[in-house]
A and B are shown apart, each in its own frame.
Chain A
Amino acid sequence: MLIFMLRRFGTMVLTMVVVSILVFLLLEINVESVATKVLGPYTSQEQREIWLRENGYFDPAVLRYLRWLGNFVIGDFGDSVRFKVPVADVLWPRLGNTGILGGVALLIASVIGLTLGVLAGMREGGFRDRAASVTAILTTSVPEFASAVFLSVIFVFNLQLLPGTSGMAEGFDPAQLVLPVMVLVIYDWGYIARMTRASMAEVMMTHYIRTAVLKGLPYGQVIRRHALRNALIAPFTVIMLQFPWLLTGVVVVESMFNYKGFGYLLVQAAANNDIDLVLSCGLISVIIVLVTQLISDIGYAFLNPRIRVA
């Protein structure tokens, strides 16, 4: 187990390094535009070149990469050209905001997905199963940007129930969180439900469930004590692996509703070619994805004693 974890950890670090090199190289392509961004469009070519030289942009790429990496590891993410502050000052609050949004959405999606998935999987092919499956297909066919448009039209402008933007200008306002969370839940719950259903249906076919039923145990007790415990192992992995999907969804939702979160920051950084910010955001999102993968693998092995990785 220890060797397995160490090897996974090694691969993880290697992936991060390669990702950061790739992003760094891709951003190299229009590095000159940084000077224009900082100094404004009405500066002369010489001024820009002086600025670039002073800030070390003409040093060899390897040197600059290593310098950036060294600073990143000790927590200095460089300066944001777009926001004119250190990257860390914008990054962490934004990540916190996204944590709230994503956490609430994932929680609700998991509760709905697990409940309906278990109900559907209890009797495969039954009415509840068909209804839940079809609903899941229906809602997972609505991408975030589409449902954001539909829900905005309905709730913001026709019913006038909810605010249309979630800028949180006057402090935290739960009402502004409703629409973004709804959009994310609509797209994400179905996948969890389908995985839970498959896992539950498989468990219901096993011999120990048949034995429990034939022993005369009340049906509810069979489900709770015997079926659920085994059926919920696989969905745990699925929920953890939802993170990359959620991250993409979060980017769309946050840009749509102007929610000041990590995803919106990523888009702003990429659109403005804000090199330090893009690098930090990219690497942090890759770290999040890889760490959740690791947790899901370890958690799976931990929850399911039948699987022991050599």
Chain B
Amino acid sequence: MENAGIFGIILGIVIRLWPVWIALAAVLVVVRLYGKRMGLFGQLFDSSIGTAGVLICAFWVFTAIFADVIAPLDPRVQVAIMKNAVPGAIDSGSGMTFLLGGDHLARDVFSRVVYGARIVLTIAPAATLIALLVGSSLGLPAGFFGRRIDAVLSFLANLVLAFPVILLFYLLVTPGIMDTAIPYMMAGILFIIPIIFFCVLFATRYSARPTQMWIYLAITLVVGFWIYAGLVFDADPLRIISIEPNELNIFVAVVFASSPGVFRIVRGLVMDIITRDYVAAAQTRGESPWYIMLWEILPNARGPLIVDVCLRIGYTTILLGTLGFFGLGMGPESPDWGTAIKDGSKVAQIRLYPWQGVVPALALMSLVLGLNLLAFGLSEMYLAWPGSI
């Protein structure tokens, strides 16, 4: 079989990724021109670590967005002759180059890694966002009211945190449990919290202006229950949001596992911020507790929370990889990185076809690295100018 050679491979990958380079260049140009006026995002480019973080994350985001253009093949397509093909192998029939080789089921590793980015970059940020909302909704009252509420909620959070993560997932992401109502019940409870969060958010802010309040509440409820129906009952009337039962299960388990961490951080931040004068001022004005929590305390806790979200998306990425590694991931057809690493890390594969495990592992590692660098850049900014984030 013909081979493109090392330069052919590098050149091929660089060319295939052309939409990503254009998008990255556009980002850099915009930052160079308007960076000073972009506040937080522009400041990130002042440090080399922050720049590197943004660029690596942006690289993967654009790869996920343009996956259809970048990937030469569908991730599920099997080309029998390319089974375990070496990187750069050229299929003599169609003239197609398998840039990073073929896997044990004769699929293109490059295409699968590109499509895998799409899976990771939808599930990890979405799960982190919901975990952030759930954790905040519970952490704010725990830190604010203290006493009984705090004791109960902290106990529950510590309970989940004390569980070994892997065991939690083995218990929650099994085929047997998917036949029961448990995942749907958990999804139903976890996903209703964000809707309540936004309702309370708008209700407290606009209580003096009923028309505006009702408009915002209506929008929240319509959008909220549209997504809710799509996720929990797989009954989105417009068929835009649809999720496989298996994916929902993983999604719920990830949200469940990372909410207590957010809870602890928010609770700690609230207990610190509650001593400030502006909180006392709001209390003297006679503001309701939820107004103070959501509109006085939460905005001032955003710095550490943004940093934590970056780190947490990275951690969720690792978690998804771990799930795939233990065969609890998306299923063998899906181009999920963790599953690919599992398949590629069998002794025979590592010995004979190392690229099958190394390529997805490198992809996962670089995404996590980007997120960690981003978090580091943000935290340095926050330490240098508290309040700037």
Chain A residue at minimum C-beta to C-beta distance from B151? A11
Q: Judging by beta carbons under 8 Å apart, are B365 and A143 in contact?
A: yes
Given A244-B161, A248-B165, also A141-B176 (CB < 8 A)? no
Asked if B321 and A143 sit within 8 Å, CB to CB, the answer is: yes
Q: With contacts defined as CB atoms under 8 Å apart, how many contacts are there between chain A and chain B in the complex?
A: 132
Give the most central of B170, B177, B357: most A CB within 10 Å.
B170
Interface residues of B in 104-155 (CB under 8 A from A): 155
In the complex, which of the residues A134, A164, A286 contacts B350, with contact meaning CB atoms closer than 8 Å?
A: A164
Residues on B with C-beta less than 8 A from A242 are none
Partner of B347, one of A15, A165, A282, A285: A165
Segment at the B interface, from A26-34, A100-108, A229-237: A26-34
The answer to whether the Cβ of B368 comes within 8 Å of any Cβ in the partner chain is yes
B158 within 8 A of A: yes
List residues of chain B with CB within 8 A of the CB of A165. Answer: 347
A181 proximity list for chain B (CB < 8 A): none
- Given the interface contacts A266-B164, A267-B170, does A164 sit within 8 Å of B373 by beta carbon? no
Docked complex Cα distance between A138 and B56 (Å): 13
The answer to whether B350 and A15 have CB atoms under 8 Å apart is: no
Per the bound structure, the CA–CA distance linking A109 and B171 in Å amounts to: 31
Contacts of B362 in A (CB 8 A): 146
Flag B336-360 by CB within 8 Å of A: 1 or 0 each. Answer: 0010011011010011001001100
CB of A149 within 8 A of CB of B344, answer: yes
Render A148-188 as a binary contact track against B, CB cut-off 8 A, 1 for contact: 11101100110000001100000000000000000000000
Chain B interface bracket (under 10, 10 to 19, 20 to 34, 35 or more): 35 or more
Is B94 in the interface zone, CB < 8 Å from A?
A: no
Given known A146-B361, A266-B167, contact A289–B162 (CB-CB < 8 A): yes
| CB within 8 Å for A143 and B322 given contacts A15-B155, A137-B373, A157-B351 | yes
Chain B interface SS verdict (over half): helix
The 8 A CB mask of A263-280 against B (1 = contact, 0 = none) is: 100110011010000100
A270 & B159 in contact (Cβ 8 Å cutoff): no
Chain A residues with a Cβ under 8 A of chain B: 11, 14-15, 18-19, 23, 26-27, 29-30, 33, 133-134, 137-138, 140-143, 145-146, 148-150, 152-153, 156-157, 164-165, 244, 247-248, 251-252, 255-256, 263, 266-267, 270-271, 273, 278, 281-282, 285-286, 289-290, 293
Interface residues in chain B, defined as those with a beta carbon under 8 Å from any beta carbon in chain A:
49, 155, 158-159, 161-167, 170-172, 174, 176-177, 180, 182, 314, 318, 321-322, 325-326, 338, 341-342, 344-345, 347, 350-351, 354, 357-358, 361-362, 364-365, 368-369, 372-373, 376
* Beyond A153-B357, A285-B167, 11 additional pairs, beta carbon < 8 A: A11-B158, A29-B180, A141-B365, A143-B364, A150-B358, A164-B350, A248-B164, A252-B325, A270-B167, A278-B171, A281-B167
